[in-house]
């Protein structure tokens, strides 16, 4: 038996039956039911008489795909998959099998090492490899891959708090160009970042009938502009693209117009009522989104109402940093007997130890990751990263390692500076916090991260262990 799909409430029902031609945008705060609306919208478009047809429900998170398949009634007219699966499938039907170049970081490092060895004294070359990987990801994801647009354009690099100087962009572009050379010499045409641009270019030249009449995008804030443009190009003139998103959950704001994404949007549907989080959890999330490092002009929807009440989030100070995961495992065991609990960390570095600790507590946990084959029903304990839980919800969420020394991640601070790292990492933490329906437990050992409101705030209950 599948997981019950929640019924849409109030104005959510209107979104399900929005026009079936053109572009529709639905923005909502965390917990406003965007995924519920997306699934119902996809089923409606797949089955509606006369206007219905083959429909694609696409998202970015593979664990979320497993969940969506679990709550969806099987329909031959509806397909649910990740963007990259859609892209590879389309290209494989147009040309020889797509081979993805997977040594990008090593190739970029070689380019960087060569420039350093040649005696260039630009300070940007002292940045870590993570900075250059992120910059190349931004360039390709936004379709800014020619020298004129990236190096010479006076428009600031959207999404970066501190723009690079033109001479530094020249260095980055040289690294990008050398990376393309290395990739071509290895016999590859694509990597995961630029596959969307290849799909977009191919669709512009493709006069055959489109496979899908309708496309529904869930968690759309995670898609690069080129991904959105390619999906808009993948529908026929009598088809539709419906975009569901929450820009408070985006790692960094794109601040791009809908027109630049090739979307013609006359009106945006906005949902501010929070059906998921308790009032107390939602108030913490709202306080986080009001902090200075969170605001950067993206299209946010402020929550205005909540359905449930519950305990305040608990901040637990553990005496020893190394004991935080053990405390998280004990809390998960205590809570997981009659509800679904998630223990989430910023990175996968601690997953093996966390799993071992959960097993030692008598808990058989489910790992949130790309190979999760089915979504379990009933009570249980899950573990994974903040990003692996995007789009999902749990009765209780436990977040260990919320120390100032670990959030923002030191590698993010080194690559991007304190201010931008805080802007990016605060969105990751926001995602994790808003996965909790009722109970939220935050663990730390030293000072609480500055990405959260002050520990002495009345938003929390404080406990020492």
pLDDT at residue 210, as a whole number? 96
**Domain assignment present for 3:** no
385 is in an annotated binding site: no
Beta-carbon contacts of residue 142 (< 8 Å; ≥ 6 apart): 158, 224, 225, 226, 254, 256
304 is in an annotated binding site: no
Nearest to 132 by CA among 99, 158, 102, 164: 164
**Domain assignment present for 198:** yes
Residue whose pair of structure tokens reads 């030249």 in the numeric block: 205
417 is in an annotated binding site: no
> What whole-number distance in Å separates Cα of residue 194 and Cα of residue 197?
5
- If 0-12 CB within 10 Å is exposed, 13-18 middle and 19+ buried, where does residue 417 land? middle
If asked whether residues 326 and 432 sit together in one domain, one would say: yes
52 is in an annotated binding site: no
**Domain assignment present for 70:** yes
If asked whether residues 289 and 426 sit together in one domain, one would say: yes
Q: Please give the tally of structural domains in the chain.
A: 3
pLDDT at residue 5, as a whole number? 72
pLDDT in tens, 72-107: 666 889 999 999 999 999 999 988 788 999 999 999
**Domain assignment present for 188:** no
Alpha helices for 234-296 (secondary structure H)? 279-289
Q: Which of 113, 145, 180 is the last residue of a domain?
A: 180
82 is in an annotated binding site: no
**Domain assignment present for 61:** yes
If asked whether residues 326 and 239 sit together in one domain, one would say: no
35 is in an annotated binding site: yes
Phi, psi torsion values for 238, nearest 5 degrees: -95, 20
pLDDT at residue 251, as a whole number? 44
141 is in an annotated binding site: no
If asked whether residues 116 and 262 sit together in one domain, one would say: no
Q: Which of 224, 253, 271 is the last residue of a domain?
A: 271
If asked whether residues 353 and 424 sit together in one domain, one would say: yes
If asked whether residues 129 and 42 sit together in one domain, one would say: no
> What whole-number distance in Å separates Cα of residue 58 and Cα of residue 234?
12
pLDDT at residue 79, as a whole number? 94
Is there a contact between 217 and 241 (Cβ–Cβ < 8 Å)?
A: yes
Query: What is the extent of the structural domain holding 123?
Result: 104-180
If asked whether residues 399 and 350 sit together in one domain, one would say: yes
If asked whether residues 371 and 456 sit together in one domain, one would say: yes
If asked whether residues 407 and 372 sit together in one domain, one would say: yes
Q: Which of 180, 203, 218 is the last residue of a domain?
A: 180
Which helix (H) or strand (E) covers residue 441, if one does?
Answer: strand 436-444
**Domain assignment present for 45:** yes
**Domain assignment present for 99:** no
Extract the residue ranges of the chain whose pLDDT is less than 70. Answer: 1-4, 72-74, 154-162, 247-256, 295-306
If asked whether residues 291 and 347 sit together in one domain, one would say: yes
Both structure tokens of 287: 């306080």
28 is in an annotated binding site: yes
Alpha helices for 186-323 (secondary structure H)? 195-205, 225-233, 279-289
Task: Using alpha carbons, list the distances in angstroms from residue 13 to 38, 39, 50.
Answer: 11, 12, 20
Say which CATH number the domain at 441 has: 3.40.50.300
Both structure tokens of 38: 């997306």
Q: What is the pTM of this model?
A: 0.88
**Domain assignment present for 329:** yes
If asked whether residues 380 and 288 sit together in one domain, one would say: yes
If asked whether residues 340 and 420 sit together in one domain, one would say: yes
């Amino acid at each position: 038996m599948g997981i019950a799909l929640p019924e849409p409430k109030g104005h959510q029902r209107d979104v399900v039956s929005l026009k079936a031609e053109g572009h529709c945008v639905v923005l909502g705060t965390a917990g406003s039911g965007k995924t519920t609306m997306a699934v119902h919208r996809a089923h409606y478009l797949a089955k509606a008489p006369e206007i219905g047809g083959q429909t694609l429900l696409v998202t970015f998170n593979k664990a979320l795909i497993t969940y969506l398949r679990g709550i969806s009634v099987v329909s031959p007219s509806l397909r649910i998959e990740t963007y990259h699966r859609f892209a590879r499938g389309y290209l494989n039907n147009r040309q020889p099998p797509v081979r993805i170049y997977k040594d990008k970081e090593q190739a970029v490092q070689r380019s960087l090492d060569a420039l350093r060895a040649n005696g260039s004294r630009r300070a940007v070359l002292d940045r870590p490899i993570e900075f250059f990987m992120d910059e190349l990801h931004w360039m390709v994801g936004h379709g800014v891959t020619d020298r004129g647009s990236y190096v010479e354009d006076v428009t600031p690099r959207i999404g970066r708090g501190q723009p690079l100087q033109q001479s530094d962009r020249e260095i980055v572009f040289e690294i990008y160009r050398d990376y393309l050379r290395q990739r071509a010499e290895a016999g590859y045409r694509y990597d995961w970042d630029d596959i969307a641009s290849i799909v977009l270019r191919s669709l512009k030249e493709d006069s055959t009938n489109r496979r899908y009449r309708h496309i529904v995008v869930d968690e759309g804030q995670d898609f690069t502009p080129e991904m959105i443009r390619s999906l808009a190009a993948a529908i026929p003139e009598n088809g539709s693209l419906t975009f569901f998103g929450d820009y408070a959950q985006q790692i960094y704001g794109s601040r791009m117009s809908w027109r630049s994404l090739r979307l013609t949007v006359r009106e945006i549907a906005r949902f501010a009522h929070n059906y998921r989080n308790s009032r107390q959890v939602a108030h913490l999330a709202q306080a986080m989104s009001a902090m200075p490092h969170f605001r950067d002009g993206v299209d946010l929807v402020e929550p205005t109402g909540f359905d449930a009440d519950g305990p305040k989030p608990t901040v637990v100070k553990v005496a020893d940093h190394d004991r935080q995961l053990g405390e998280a495992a004990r809390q998960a065991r205590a809570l997981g007997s009659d509800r679904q609990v998630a223990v989430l960390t910023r990175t996968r570095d601690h997953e093996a130890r966390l799993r071992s600790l959960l097993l030692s507590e008598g808990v058989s946990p489910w790992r949130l990751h790309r190979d999760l084959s089915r979504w379990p029903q009933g009570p249980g304990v899950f573990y994974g990263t903040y990003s692996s839980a995007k789009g999902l919800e749990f009765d209780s969420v436990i977040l260990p390692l919320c120390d100032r020394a670990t959030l923002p991640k030191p590698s993010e601070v080194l690559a991007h500076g304190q201010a931008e790292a805080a802007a990016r990492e605060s969105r990751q933490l926001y995602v994790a916090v808003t996965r909790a329906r009722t109970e939220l437990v935050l663990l730390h050992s030293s000072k609480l991260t500055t990405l959260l409101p002050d520990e002495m705030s009345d938003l929390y209950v404080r406990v020492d262990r």
